[in-house]
Structure 1
Amino acid sequence: MASSAYELAQRLGDEAVRTSVLDAASRLLAVEGPAALALRRIAAEVGCSTTVLYRMFAGKAGLVEALYVEAFERFRRRLAAVPKRDDPLAYLTDLGRAYRANALDERNYYRLMFGEPVPGFRPSDDALVQAAATFAILEDALAGCAAAGLLVDGDPRHFAASLWAAIHGVVSLELAGHLPDDADEIFDATLIAMGIGLFRK
């Protein structure tokens, strides 16, 4: 029998309930598609009443927006947790590997970030600002490389976008099952290839 919103929040805490709801929704979306994002279905998966979902997200549109924001926030936290290093190039490489690790560990959320899993969904301006905060970490890392004299001439922001695109491409191929078993080596080769083009000899 489903718990009431009050009972569930008392037992787990609002943040834990919110995480459980978002994880269940992201999983259903990945496995069954957008039709599975019925609030009653998600509430049943988590073991609560739909009151919980309406209280936290104000409906389906709010839930989808929360999924998008959560995806980028988890991604941002993963990148922000990478320790800074004296060698800016080594730090940038660590960020690239953290990008891939997050994509592999959070596959359902990763697809939410860069695809259109829910037809018609458009993130709000606030959600787009939060998403951009993730990209700022990579921009700052490239700016550090530029300050150290490691980059070829050009705008570090453009280099950051190019590096993001390259990493996103190889990770997306891996998630889709299009890379052979030695995906680790292919990913490292991508980082090396980008380094050849972006960094001074």
Structure 2
Amino acid sequence: MTRLSNLGTTYREHALAEPAYYRVMFEQAVPGFRPSAEALAVAATAFEASTAAVTACIDSGAFRPGDAQEIAKILWAASHGAVSLEIAGHFPPDTAAHRYETLMTAVAQAFSARPATATADSASPTEEGQTS
């Protein structure tokens, strides 16, 4: 799980450090630009690290058996959504990291081989007084 968590953290950190690059890669910041088949193939190769980390979670028993690539894509979708909202300014800096971690923990829990347990510090947005 540590390797998978580190990949997510690195994804977020890189996106925040290079928001213009992130926008070009994922948000069609350049009208009409479409990546070439070669660029998409390279991106797919890079995604293999996420799939390998999910496979390791399945093999270790942290995640229940399943399609590692599909699980990795669901985790990426959650990560990407939170990062995109943060870059766009919808998540203030003082809450963004906590929201990211809460989201990723919740999504990973959906694939966990162990039942979820409530924690004292897992406050809902309404408990924090936040709505966005």
Q: Does the alignment reach a TM-score above 0.5?
A: yes
User: What RMSD over aligned residues (CA atoms) do the two structures have, in Å?
Assistant: 1.2
Q: Does 1:161 align with 2:48?
A: no
Q: What TM-score results when the alignment is normalised by the length of structure 2?
A: 0.80
Structure 1 segments (4+ residues) deviating >4 Å: none
Q: What TM-score results when the alignment is normalised by the length of structure 1?
A: 0.54
2:41 alignment partner, SS class = helix
What is the CA–CA distance in structure 1 between the aligned matches of 2:58 and 2:72, rounded to whole Å?
Answer: 11
Q: Among 62, 71, 96, which residue is 2:8 paired with? A: 96
Size of the alignment, in residue pairs? 113
Q: Which residue of 2 aligns with 1:133?
A: 45
Q: Which residue of 1 aligns with 2:110?
A: 197
Give the AA of the match of 1:198: F
Q: Which segments of 5 or more consecutive residues in structure 2 lack a partner in the other structure? A: 115-132
Q: How does 1:31-110 map to 2 (within 5 A)?
A: 89-110=1-22
Q: Which protein has greater RCO, CA pairs closer than 8 Å, 6+ apart?
A: 2
Larger gyration radius, structure 1 or structure 2: 1
Contact 2:58 2:66 survives alignment (8 Å) = no
Q: Does 1:186 align with 2:96?
A: no
Percent identity, please: 42
Instruction: Render the CA deviation track for 1:27-84: whole Å, top value 9, x for unaligned.
Output: xxxxxxxxxxxxxxxxxxxxxxxxxxxxxxxxxxxxxxxxxxxxxxxxxxxxxxxxxx
Instruction: Render the CA deviation track for 1:122-159: whole Å, top value 9, x for unaligned.
Output: 22111111111221110111011111122123211110
Return the offset for 1:115.
1.5
